């Protein structure tokens, strides 16, 4: 493998630019064709939906409402489990040593 970069001839550079332009043009033509097909499909789908009756707002919102309700229920259960374990933990651990009722008397100097 050579590290020295060789300069391309003018013909090779022109051929590279030509192929790049042709590729870009082909991509543009393909995009235009896809846009037309998508438009045609959307029109056809709209016609079918109009004949069928389409989706009402209830059908569109219902799945999101169900998911939201399920998320709230799961979060509530998770919180209640955490609270239950925290309230019982103080009973489970025994006290290490009793706290003194009166402070110790000061030491006297000899």
Domain match, 67 and 38 both: no
Q: Check residue 46 and give its pLDDT.
A: 83
pLDDT in tens, 21-48: 999 999 988 888 888 888 888 888 888 8
Domain match, 25 and 39 both: yes
Please state, in angstroms and rounded to a whole number, the distance separating the CA atoms of residues 107 and 35: 94
Domain match, 29 and 48 both: yes
Q: Give a yes or no: residue 6 inside a domain.
A: no
Helix (H) / strand (E) containing 17: helix 10-52
Q: Check residue 18 and give its pLDDT.
A: 92
Number of domains in the chain: 2
Contacts 24+ apart (CB under 8 A), 50-56: none
| DSSP conformation class of 74 | H
The boundaries of the domain holding residue 75 are: 55-86
Q: Give a yes or no: residue 102 inside a domain.
A: no
What does pLDDT average to over the chain? 78
Q: Give a yes or no: residue 91 inside a domain.
A: no
Domain match, 42 and 68 both: no
pLDDT in tens, 68-84: 999 999 888 888 876 55
């Amino acid at each position: 493998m050579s590290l020295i970069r060789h300069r391309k001839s003018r013909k090779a550079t022109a051929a590279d630019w030509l192929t790049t332009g042709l590729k870009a043009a082909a991509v543009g033509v393909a995009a235009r064709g896809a846009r037309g097909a998508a438009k045609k499909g959307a029109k056809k789908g709209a016609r079918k939906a109009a004949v069928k009756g389409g989706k009402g707002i209830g059908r569109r919102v219902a799945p999101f409402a169900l998911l939201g309700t399920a998320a709230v229920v799961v979060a509530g259960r998770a919180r209640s489990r955490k609270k239950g374990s925290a309230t019982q933990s103080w009973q489970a651990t025994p006290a290490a040593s009793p706290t003194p009722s009166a402070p110790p008397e000061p030491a006297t100097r000899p």
